[in-house]
Amino acid sequence: MSQPMHISEVIHQLVLNNPDDPWAKLLRGCPFIQIALLKEGYMTLDELSPEEIERLKNHIDLEDLPHD
């Protein structure tokens, strides 16, 4: 890494670029990471379990997410 990076960017890159990494899998299960990925269009609701979707409804209005 030649330039300093904010921890959020490091997490973002790990989650997006290393789907099989155990830490990336753990992070992708965190609601705040899921919300960020959904808002940016890097994840869809189809990738989440019904339980995860219900949990997210406690934190965000799913209608506010981008739609195809």
What are the pLDDT digits (tens) for 18-44? 888 998 889 889 998 899 889 888 889
pLDDT for 68 equals: 58
What pTM, to 2 d.p., does this model score? 0.77
**CA dist., res. 30 & res. 32, Å (int):** 6
